[in-house]
Structure 1
């Protein structure tokens, strides 16, 4: 992973101040501390900060030119199948490096904008065509790597992070009031619907999209990929081995790099699967695992983690996040994330990445991406029941418990609203992938890892796995109330049974309620009673203090609402004081 920034003049008369690209690029130093490079001509300025992962030589630094000096690229990401593509391209392109960056250039030269359909990876890049005086920009299928842009005067500004855009001397942004209002109401997925951000006039290039623009031309954004059902020509008895082979291959591809690699290990089935399957490969230096640990029962996964360590024999490192360390890092967290978030689990991940950095790890595998397409959360159960109602498979309702009866009522209401050809489980999966929670989780993953100059890789987000799993009937995902049915079936005898049979889910838990009622109490009171908070006008300071005191005393339990106001205020103070 790296960082890039750029300024592209939309008119022939646009004069670019050379100081701007330097300031914009320096704001991204944390994303790529290994090398910094620039390109400037009369209508385009590029800057790049490199985190060296594949081909550590200076020849692989960016901006990079193709062998004919027509195209220049700045790029953030990894093309995991670059070795396979290199074999195809070597007959028509003379490679000077062993980097995946040069493979993108060669692929673009041969196939044009259609090259992206051949990539298995995650990417965000800009390719300048010096003859056409135009740029081609692309973001990977699921939006794992970020791409932000804004229009300012006669310029298109783009970058890996918003803070970089703010360094452009003529650009002035302000808080996006509409977005803040939706956040405070507890809405999810609203940023992805319109490509908005919490910064007014700053937008994100949608996942699976390309952007085209030339000097004197209008900007065009086109979607090149969406998650859709595909015909699967595989016999039922072949589905499980086919899925497991895909997962193993996704892991194999992501274990390839030229730097030390580790695994982010929680006690859940996803990261455990990645850890146990990865242990079958020879990796030099040997893999290490990194985990968070709490004594509080609601956030303690140590027993499950230890079971995995007993099987894999990994060397393990643990960290215990504390409220004191959170307060110390809160503003730094907000500066890196550039938007308020919904809970504190991201802080546990932050501390795990900090720990990995202390062990000189540059690449970290994780279990992100399985829940959304494998219906890995109990919230999918009503949709599963709705599908059973739709298909007439009602045997599961013969002995309904009270809770199940309530879920059946919910499912019946869901069943009345289906106007698509997708199952109800698939509709919810599509929502999770395109709107929430996956985009938010990917944002957190990117910002936490880049804060410590670490690249994270998620085998479950291999597009082949995503497309195949989504295309399967719903009963491969949930059956008899068992979530992630296919994955669990594939992992029999491959991961500890203690983890395999888990029904609960935590995912880097943090005892947020205990922290807000205890160690963070005085800090929260100071924020809610401050003049700055009252002057924002988002709510009555007196009213929120009253609610907070009721929460502390156990009379109310609206922890999420209190957190949202706290976090938004911290974001405002970080960027606008």
Structure 2
């Protein structure tokens, strides 16, 4: 795992003020937490491209892994962040026609591109963001993995093209202007949609994205080299037990690759849930003495007893780490500030502390990300798979204006209340009500220009109007392209890399991504049971009662934070708002603070937290200018 950065300034736009190589050095210095083991830079005098890297050594710990890395004649140069778990298989396929000087997966990327061009990415099972300088073609390419596990941002301004693994390094060096429309859409979503960032001229390369800069003309073109959409459109007609066997085979292959592609010890995160239990159980069969980490937060629901049973059942070495967030008030600005953009997912806080604790023991950990998204794990998928429930709720939706708002997030009443709201809406309003539900019903308080949400609204309308697919498939497809890539992947990367911790997700293997979406709906959601096929598979590896545990676990006590330890801090930030008040009516913000806005307590807490994260980001930008 690493951090990458670089720039190119089109010669036709060059002048005496052309940025020197120390701009890349500054960006790389700001990415040091992503790669504390080595640092390198290549300033190409022929093309003017500058590539930089900070390295977290995981595969081939020797100096041979130094980046930027090149091929034999130095016509191809690569900086790369991530892991290609099948790099050994690809290296053997490349054969003796290429000369290797290291055992790194980075060098496999170099020669795979040399052999197959940009088609090489289809061969990779891994997570990656890379920049490739092809001097023969006079092109600079940026590419990103299928799920967007590893980040890549690029900045274009007056002939300058710069890229980095994190927004903070681009902001600190180039000081881009704020994009008000993108920030307003953030308020609706809690994260940034697809290519959007809070800055003008700065874009995020989409998952499965490929950007090419023609060094002759300075023009940049962007396309998708991979998309999950086609796999959600497909239907895989197989018997259930055959599908269980196939998922079992893919899971074993995916876990085995992620264990073996490391010269450091690899452990697992183990909660009481099915995803991490399956990953740990399978990993324990491939690796004796596997360390399985369970993180326990003081004063919350404790999954340790379930996790301990799973570890004992599969023979893993169980380690429990107890975490206190007593210092949250002192660290909250840093934790949120790490994202370089407003980021409203409050689970970023425990993710930060979990990664910090795990790094004390290991550098590489497997987790269960992707299980919910590919196999139907969220409660909102139940009515989508049972559309009669939605029709029933639509008929009862008049109750929404009569019954009291729910006071507790978890529970049947809150679920019923939100289902009523979801059932009576259409398009973007329906999708957001069923998922993030932040400013829904209070959109008018956002000081946005007309059209700020058109892109996502068009995407939702286009997808949900496709009558060839079931509602469940459409919802899962949209979730994967929005919440999963824009929220969950961003959270996991920034929280873990803040501590130089590499997290690997077997459920996000190439094979799973191209197999699971096409499975029949009934294999995923059966009645009110989510992740049906994974639960059946888990019975082969775990105690049956653990395989059929309901989805639960650590719930961020956001409402309690905002009414307790963080109340004064949030009130002070927002009452004297400089950033949030630019995007939301001041009277509405004050009404939220005073509890005068008519909204369920959990929704009020989410709105306050979303504004608080925005204010922290905005003030951080003021200090950096």
TM-score by length of 1: 0.89
- Whether the 8 Å contact between 2:168 and 2:339 is mirrored in structure 1 is no
- Whether the 8 Å contact between 1:334 and 1:574 is mirrored in structure 2 is no
* Bigger Cα displacement from structure 2, 235-244 vs 403-412: 403-412
- Whether the 8 Å contact between 1:174 and 1:200 is mirrored in structure 2 is yes
Matches within 5 A, 1:492-507: 492-506=539-553
Structure 1: runs of 5 or more not aligned: 391-400
The residue that corresponds to 1:129 in the other structure is 134
Deviation at 1:408, TM superposition (A): 9.8
- Whether the 8 Å contact between 2:384 and 2:390 is mirrored in structure 1 is no
2:517 is the counterpart of 1:517: no
Matches within 5 A, 1:367-378: 367-378=368-379
Alignment partners' CA distance in 1, 2:520 and 2:125 = 25
Alignment partners' CA distance in 2, 1:387 and 1:133 = 57
- Whether the 8 Å contact between 1:139 and 1:207 is mirrored in structure 2 is yes
* Bigger Cα displacement from structure 2, 213-222 vs 37-46: 213-222
The residue that corresponds to 1:252 in the other structure is 256
- Alignment partner of 1:68: what SS? coil
- Whether the 8 Å contact between 1:307 and 1:498 is mirrored in structure 2 is no
CA RMSD of aligned residues (A): 2.9
The residue that corresponds to 1:385 in the other structure is 386
Q: Deviations over 1:402-441 (max 9, x none)?
A: 9889969967988996533112111111011111244310
Q: Deviations over 1:134-153 (max 9, x none)?
A: 21221111111111001122
- Alignment partner of 2:338: what SS? helix
Deviation at 1:196, TM superposition (A): 0.7
- C-alpha change, 1:555 and 1:282, in structure 2 (3 Å) is closer
- C-alpha change, 1:306 and 1:260, in structure 2 (3 Å) is same
The residue that corresponds to 2:394 in the other structure is none
2:542 is the counterpart of 1:539: no
Alignment partners' CA distance in 2, 1:142 and 1:534 = 31
* Bigger Cα displacement from structure 2, 69-78 vs 268-277: 268-277
The residue that corresponds to 2:399 in the other structure is none
- Alignment partner of 1:456: what SS? strand
The residue that corresponds to 1:397 in the other structure is none
Alignment partners' CA distance in 2, 1:370 and 1:336 = 26
Matches within 5 A, 1:109-148: 109-148=114-153
* Bigger Cα displacement from structure 2, 529-538 vs 105-114: 529-538
2:30 is the counterpart of 1:27: yes
Deviation at 1:34, TM superposition (A): 0.3
Alignment partners' CA distance in 2, 1:503 and 1:288 = 21
Q: Deviations over 1:298-349 (max 9, x none)?
A: x443333333233244231313232x32222212212321222334222111
Structure 2: runs of 5 or more not aligned: 392-411, 428-460
- C-alpha change, 1:475 and 1:414, in structure 2 (3 Å) is farther
- Alignment partner of 2:11: what SS? coil
2:68 is the counterpart of 1:63: yes
Matches within 5 A, 1:443-462: 443-462=490-509
- Alignment partner of 1:378: what SS? coil
Alignment partners' CA distance in 2, 1:413 and 1:344 = 26
TM-score by length of 2: 0.83
Figure out how many residues of one structure are paired with residues of the other and give that number: 555
Deviation at 1:56, TM superposition (A): 0.6
The residue that corresponds to 2:319 in the other structure is 316
* Bigger Cα displacement from structure 2, 287-296 vs 272-281: 287-296
* Bigger Cα displacement from structure 2, 42-51 vs 10-19: 10-19
- Whether the 8 Å contact between 1:274 and 1:367 is mirrored in structure 2 is yes
The residue that corresponds to 2:43 in the other structure is 40
- Whether the 8 Å contact between 1:210 and 1:221 is mirrored in structure 2 is yes
2:299 is the counterpart of 1:295: yes
Matches within 5 A, 1:161-310: 161-168=166-173, 171-184=174-187, 186-187=188-189, 191-192=193-194, 195-217=195-217, 218-227=219-228, 228-229=230-231, 230=234, 232=236, 234-256=238-260, 257-282=262-287, 286-296=290-300, 299-310=301-312
Deviation at 1:545, TM superposition (A): 4.1
